[in-house]
Amino acid sequence: MSVSNNNKSRKFHDSSAPTVSVIMNCLNCERYLREAIDSVFAQTYEDWEIIFWEDKGSEDNSENIAKSYGSKLRYFKSDVSLPLYGSRNLALQKARGKYIAILDCDDMWLPAKLEEQIALLERDDGVGLVYSDAFNFNEKGKEKRKFEIHKPYRGNIFSELLLCNFISTQTAVIRREAFDSMDRWFDGRLIQTGDYDAYLRISYRWKVDYVDKPLARYRVHRNSKTWSDGRKLLSVELDLVIENLRQNVCGFEDKYPEGARSLKRLRDVQLSLLDWENGDKREARKKINVYIRDGVSYLILSLLMYFPYRYVYYTCHRMYTKNIIA
């Protein structure tokens, strides 16, 4: 489901509404839910509301947990089951805030997150999105900073973002006007790349700023979807991301040839890995050899494809999808 922008009238913020709307989408999310909601209630910046949108198919105790938090959490239960970004759009329709933040139900914020990011948005009306560093952690408690070595970009970052998705959703705070300036909010057709697609379209029109410290904690899970299914989906979705950019950026491939090639390369890598997994090493190498001059990693991948896929599948999956899903 894609919701077109019918909310141009939101340009002037209702002074009686909270400044920040926190979007939380839920489908059977009770396991870590209290940790996530508690991290919002622990914010030093207190002028916020939570829009808690539970999918029709959710069957656990999430509703009771959410409703136990009182009036600052506005609970909604969908009467239809939708993919994530269709549900994000429905939650956005209920949001009253001047700024939008999104928190998945298994992640957490650090207490100063909203205070530090709202300050940057208030300082410059041309900034449409502010993101930050984050701690990535797993079930064993191992924790690592996302930007431990390389520092990300700020300002007009569209060209850089085309090459790598470095904005993690749990770290972003977005100006509502930036959402409303686009032809649509999230693209409801997308399942894995909906955030990336939206951030690209926002960064084309707006400046982006960055807080150089971890302000969120992202829980890393083993992907329950098979990697072959994930690659099929990513290849299709990257085509849709390219399609959206062609519609929103006049002359996209002529103005941004490196970025357009990068997106197509990411798509073709997924298809080549799928061919390799299915035993068609020749077709896999044919797809990847087009990009050998783009970097040594593609030459290495082409050489690895002479071997059976099962010997190196995990390394290849991690190396050749990391630029897509932040």
Return per-residue pLDDT of the chain as tens, 326 residues: 445 554 443 555 567 899 999 999 999 999 999 999 999 999 999 999 999 999 998 999 999 999 999 999 999 999 988 899 999 999 999 999 999 999 999 999 999 999 999 999 999 999 999 999 999 988 777 888 888 777 789 999 999 999 999 999 999 999 999 999 998 899 999 988 999 999 999 999 999 999 999 999 998 876 544 555 677 888 899 999 999 999 999 999 999 999 999 999 999 988 998 888 888 999 999 999 999 999 898 898 888 888 887 766 666 655 555 555 55
d(CA 43, CA 305): 49
- My answer on whether 167 and 312 are in the same domain is no
- My answer on whether 204 and 232 are in the same domain is no
Find the CATH number of the domain harbouring 28: 3.90.550.10
On whether the CB atoms of residues 40 and 50 are closer than 8 A, the answer is yes
If residue 277 lies in a helix (H) or strand (E), which one and from where to where?
helix 257-277
- My answer on whether 63 and 194 are in the same domain is yes
Q: Tell me the pTM.
A: 0.88
Q: DSSP 3-state assignment of 167? A: coil
* Residue at which a domain ends, from 192, 219, 246: 219
Q: Please tell me what DSSP assigns to residue 150.
A: S
* Residue at which a domain ends, from 219, 247, 267: 219
Choose among 76, 12, 22: nearest CA to 47: 22
In a domain, 3, yes or no: no
pLDDT at position 318: 58
How many domains in the chain? Answer: 2
Q: For residue 191, what are the contacts with CB-CB under 8 A and spacing of at least 6?
A: 83, 84, 85, 233, 237
Q: DSSP 3-state assignment of 132? A: strand
In a domain, 120, yes or no: yes
In a domain, 101, yes or no: yes
d(CA 55, CA 157): 34
d(CA 118, CA 131): 10
Token reading at 121: 């948005």
In a domain, 132, yes or no: yes
- My answer on whether 14 and 110 are in the same domain is yes
* Residue at which a domain ends, from 170, 188, 219: 219
In a domain, 52, yes or no: yes
- My answer on whether 307 and 199 are in the same domain is no
Neighbours of 210 (CB within 10 A): 22
Question: How far is residue 256 from each of residues 18, 86, 87, 181, 196, measured CA to CA in Å?
Answer: 39, 29, 31, 22, 17
Phi and psi at 174, nearest 5°, equal -120, 135
- My answer on whether 45 and 79 are in the same domain is yes
- My answer on whether 234 and 205 are in the same domain is no
- My answer on whether 178 and 29 are in the same domain is yes
At position 91, the amino acid (one-letter code) is: A
Which domain range does residue 270 map to?
227-319
- My answer on whether 178 and 303 are in the same domain is no
In a domain, 94, yes or no: yes
Phi and psi at 315, nearest 5°, equal -60, -45
- My answer on whether 235 and 304 are in the same domain is yes
d(CA 163, CA 311): 28
- My answer on whether 80 and 215 are in the same domain is yes
Q: DSSP 3-state assignment of 1? A: coil
- My answer on whether 233 and 289 are in the same domain is yes
In a domain, 1, yes or no: no
Angle at Cα 168 formed by Cα 139 and Cα 229, nearest 5°? 70
In a domain, 116, yes or no: yes
